Structure 1
Amino acid sequence: MARHLDVLQSHVTELHKTREEANPELSSEVQSLKEKLNEHSKQLEQSTEKLSQLELENLNLCDENQALNTASNKKR
């Protein structure tokens, strides 16, 4: 079974190599798209981190606001 998979993987690799050699323009476009996807993935990761930070900051501000409201209501 493993030998069969190795043979299939080898065929797939050869097909990819042949396709790239047969159409270098397409290969270049695919590479460009991969790079753009990588860049967008990095941006998405950074945005996710920033969102997490902002959500945490928002929770802290809500807690502070609630504490201030509670203190204000006790003074009344």
Structure 2
Amino acid sequence: MAMDKQDDLPEATQREAELQRKIDDLQGQVTGLHRTREETNPELSLEFQTLKEKLNEQSKQLEQSAEKLSQLESENLTL
């Protein structure tokens, strides 16, 4: 039985080395995904900011239009 344990040791060591390589590969992939996310997020943040500014501008225009409509309605009643 002592021989069996010695024979298993190299196989276990090989398996451990294989698993460690897989772990290293996965860690590399995770690091790559994090980099991609960091590179992508600024673009999304910029697009979000642009859309937010457009929405604010359109909201202001809508307010101005509502005020103008209210003024015109008042003038119409006066006439």
Structure 1 length-normalised TM:
0.65
Greater RCO (Cα-Cα under 8 Å, separation 6 or more): 1
Long gaps (5+) in structure 2: 56-79
Matches within 5 A, 1:21-40: 23-40=2-19
Q: How many residues align?
A: 55
- CA distance in 1: counterparts of 2:11 and 2:3, whole angstroms: 12
Task: Tell me the SS of whatever aligns to 2:39.
Answer: helix
Cα-to-partner distance string for 1:1-26 (whole Å, 9 max, x where unaligned):
xxxxxxxxxxxxxxxxxxxxx82211
Q: How does 1:49-64 map to 2 (within 5 A)?
A: 49-64=28-43
Unaligned runs of 5+ in 1: 1-21
TM-score calculated relative to the size of structure 2: 0.63
